[in-house]
Chain A
């Protein structure tokens, strides 16, 4: 009788251990769906916290760390208040680096890290631009060299080219060219699983609409 209970106990434990995977998938799927409905910076911050909770419970999964960081990067663009960037990105960077250590040489994580550096540059482009700009570029090149077909690497590169004045190596034309490349890459991209990064195509379409319009307002170095 005692042995039977022990046996049932073991079976239960092992079954729950296996069952964690569906639980993880379920939580991630739900949170990703919730992320799609976010519109405000605060909502993205709350979603980041949710991914962080999953990440802290599943310390070997890189995806929740990745999304915790990505939500924060998204939040700073929505807040559009550079005085918040450093504090928010400090945590994003920590999560991105944890993701990187769990999943080394992943193109998506390099894109994310490049975006984080981009957000830091926004705080003070005049002084941070020179050094961090190079770093951001290097991370992006690495992302492309790991996976030449990662559409997000081209989309984000296009973004930074689009808003950089031509004399600093950017320009609307160069940006739009890159968006077209990104669009083509999205066409052939297949995510490894429904949980893996698969975002950006809608935004590229939005940007491509701007490319067909007359020149947008130029944003200067100040």
Chain B
């Protein structure tokens, strides 16, 4: 009784004191847009409301005196202000400040196509690479469907925007990879050595890239390996010419993972079905590789990663002798390749990250051509350290240094050539967000090559401006230097050389929504100091090298991707227009080089049929033709190869085998059987013409992949679900 009395007194007193106040107003952002859905409240009370569709709010409170009015809304800074509540009504209009948020902010994109799982709005994702018809699971095969990039004929390597293949560098976890393609001989197509699923993301830069990377005049393929696997898994791949298996084990502590795989390829069965038209197999391609990886979480933010790969392959073939037709040449190739990459990443302080890396690779090619021994041995070691420093959320600095030791050894019969290169580079680059809509990246890279005995300094600048919610324009400028290829470096003692140089100017507009991407990019590239080669009188085997070459490449790249308009379908269209001329190596004049096609069009279409659990994919490619050398034409490289069409089709059937996720796939390259003529070659006297073409016009390939997850058998209670990761 006594308690109730007290309570009543208190409540009455409170009621008496708490006359009602009505607070209302409008909530807007710093661009004067009204904000619906904001939470408006009096701190430490239940009183408040949500702003309506026009950003208006109104509520009553019985609180009095000094109170704190709080407004919160995702993506905006909290508003809090002390107000004096007096009975009656008050109007308080509030302006919220948009927080700087990288997800909404403008992105520096000129020149780069990004493919990763992590970021939204990326253009190609890792899964896209393996489901693109015609790419045959090869990273470079998929990149070829993007504008500006192309493979040329049977050559290995990726040619970007009028650049030669050596102008494209592959970078894994920040470090350059030498020989990223399988060793091959002319006329035998090759592919990349690294499997797409090793990587969580790919950045394909067709120019104007970061000061962190150098030694590539045209393009960088930047691959980042997976961090910690989410769970233990195994897989088996089976095809008539291929067997492979892998296992990944994630330890119970959730901090350690170890995995490895082995693959064996033997094309003998394939070669029995498809006889190449340009040569004859004496021994089919046989290749074996093994890989190993290790991951260790060293702390909540640190990870140590190792990846190693070892490969061996060999084949032997017989080709017609171009200068004396009835004769043939036997050529044999044996290759051994080793690659190791170790990296460590840690957050030293909340705003200060560090990356350390070392890598080593060796590549050994032994060629026996018509009884003549040729061997080539490259070794490369690299060490790198880089730091990220977030000075403010709007200013981010990245800087670092790298060292490379490269050794090239070549032997022709008894003739030996050796080159050792010691290379040091440093870079510093700042990302500056002037506003949410305007960002700049300014960087500089310095390099010193011991063999050239020269320092270069390469500035890089990018700007990006957001023109709308989904659209932006970007510009990039940069200088790019590259040490001449090893085969020109053997004679630097006699003919001193300097860096080859390219300057890029790029402008780009893009419009990206969740399901559609449109982008148009124009570029102008100026080449300077390209290697030139002149004959030395009386010695047909020795040349004099200089840096007297030059050239330009300009063009327009278009890209459109749509995952929305057609249900269950995803397609993209790429078109490149290229105008380029250069004088380099033995070109007598400046002309369009043999690897430059004026028009390239790619159409990729993928359609998923849920009722039959099958994805059908098709890739059509058109190439307007490449110049080739015809000794009978007085104009150097005056002939252009025929227009090229290719249509590849593939189907993947998703099913379950003994409870394991299984994919059965079938691919049919050049299904309509279009002629695949890349140009013509001539005998020395110019009288005999040979077609330079795909050795096999059209191929069918099928296989099965079974993936076994080891998640269900683990005891759930032992799993420590790390909240910070979500």
- B45 contacts which chain A residues (CB < 8 A)? 53, 57
Residues of A within 8 A of B230 (CB): 130-131, 134-135
Instruction: Let me know if A19 is at the binding interface, CB within 8 A.
Output: yes
Select A165's contact among B48, B570, B613, B717, beta carbons within 8 Å: B613
Q: Contacts A57-B46, A166-B656, A167-B613 known; A11 to B711 CB distance under 8 Å?
A: no
Partner among B3, B9, B716 whose Cβ is within 8 Å of the Cβ of A141:
B716
Q: From residue A61, how far is it (CB to closest CB) to chain B in Å? A: 12
Taken together as a complex, chains A and B put the C-alpha atoms of A86 and B514 apart, in Å, by 12
* Closest beta carbon of chain A to B650's beta carbon, Å: 17
| B685 interface residue (CB < 8 Å to A) | no
Q: Write the nearest CB–CB distance from B37 to chain A, whole angstroms.
A: 6
Q: Which of B7, B50, B563, B723 contacts A49 (CB 8 A)?
A: B50
Chain B residues contacting A87 (CB-CB under 8 Å) are 74-75
B231 close to A (CB within 8 Å) = yes
Chain B residues with Cβ under 8 A from A139's Cβ? Answer: 721
Q: Which of B10, B47, B570, B662 contacts A222 (CB 8 A)?
A: B570
Q: What is the chain A residue whose CB lies nearest that of B653?
A: A167
Return B665 CB to nearest CB of chain A, in Å.
14
Of residues 191 through 222 on chain A, the ones whose CB sits less than 8 Å from some CB of chain B are: 218-222
Set of chain B residues within 8 Å of A141, measured between Cβ atoms: 716
What secondary structure prevails in chain A residues at the interface with B? helix
| Given the contacts A15-B10, A56-B41, A220-B568, A138 and B721 also touching, CB distance less than 8 Å | yes
**B13 sits at the interface (CB 8 A):** yes
Which residues from 135 to 178 on chain A have a C-beta closer than 8 Å to any C-beta of chain B?
A: 135, 137-139, 141-142, 145, 165-169
Residues of A within 8 A of B44 (CB): 56-57
B633 within 8 A of A: no
Contacting B at CB under 8 A, from A25-64, are 27, 42, 45-46, 49-50, 52-54, 56-57
Are A134 and B711 in contact, CB atoms less than 8 angstroms apart? yes
* CB of B43 within 8 Å of the partner chain: yes
- Number of A interface residues, CB 8 Å? 54
Contact check, B47 vs A53: say whether CB atoms are below 8 A apart: yes
A93 to chain B, nearest CB (A): 6
- Assuming the contacts A56-B43, A220-B608, A222-B608, asked whether A138 and B719 have C-beta atoms less than 8 A apart, the reply is yes
The docked-state distance in angstroms from the alpha carbon of A220 to that of B614 is: 10
Q: Which residues of A contact B611 (CB under 8 A)?
A: 218
In the bound assembly, the distance between CA atoms of A106 and B646 in angstroms comes to 59
Instruction: Select from chain B the residue with minimum beta-carbon distance to A143.
Output: B716
Per-residue interface assignment for chain B, residues 691 to 721, with 1 indicating a CB less than 8 Å from any chain A CB and 0 otherwise: 0000000000000000000010000110101
How many Å lie between the Cα of A137 and that of B570 in the bound state?
28
Most chain A CB inside 10 Å of its own CB: which residue of B39, B569, B609: B39
Give the contacting residue for A42; candidates B37, B39, B47; CB below 8 A. Answer: B37
Instruction: State the main secondary structure of chain B at its contact with A.
Output: mixed
In the complex, whether B6 has a CB less than 8 A from a CB of chain A is yes
Q: How far is the CA of A11 from the CA of B47 in the complex (A)?
A: 25
Complex CA gap A58/B661 in Å reads 48
Q: Let me know if B127 is at the binding interface, CB within 8 A.
A: yes
Most buried by A among B7, B47, B127: B7
Is B69 interfacial (CB-CB < 8 Å)? no
B655 within 8 A of A: yes
Q: Are A221 and B719 in contact (CB under 8 A)?
A: no
Report A9-31 residues with CB < 8 Å from chain B CB: 11-12, 15-16, 19, 23, 27
Within 8 A of A (CB), among B530-589: 563, 567-570
Least CB distance from B617 to A in Å reads: 13
A142/B721 in contact, CB under 8 A? yes
Find chain A residues with CB under 8 A from B656 CB: 166-167
Nearest opposing residue in chain A for B663, CB measure: A167
A11 proximity list for chain B (CB < 8 A) = 6, 10
Whether A115 sits at the interface, judged by CB under 8 Å, is no
Within 8 A of A (CB), among B245-264: none
When C-beta atoms are compared, the residue in chain B nearest to A57 turns out to be: B44
CB distance from B715 to the nearest CB of A (A): 9
Question: Could you tell me the distance between the alpha carbons of A139 and B719 in the complex, rounded to whole angstroms?
Answer: 10
Query: Which residues of B are found within 8 Å of A169, using beta-carbon distances?
Result: 661
B413 CB to nearest chain A CB (Å): 53
Report chain A residues within 8 Å CB of B75.
87
Q: With the chains together, A190 CA to B6 CA distance in Å?
A: 36
- Cβ of B726 within 8 Å of any chain A Cβ, yes or no, is yes
| Contact sample, A vs B, 5 pairs, CB 8 Å cutoff | A46-B37, A97-B726, A135-B726, A165-B610, A167-B654
User: Besides the contacts A123-B514, A222-B568, what 4 more A-B pairs have beta carbons closer than 8 Å?
Assistant: A56-B43, A126-B127, A142-B717, A222-B610
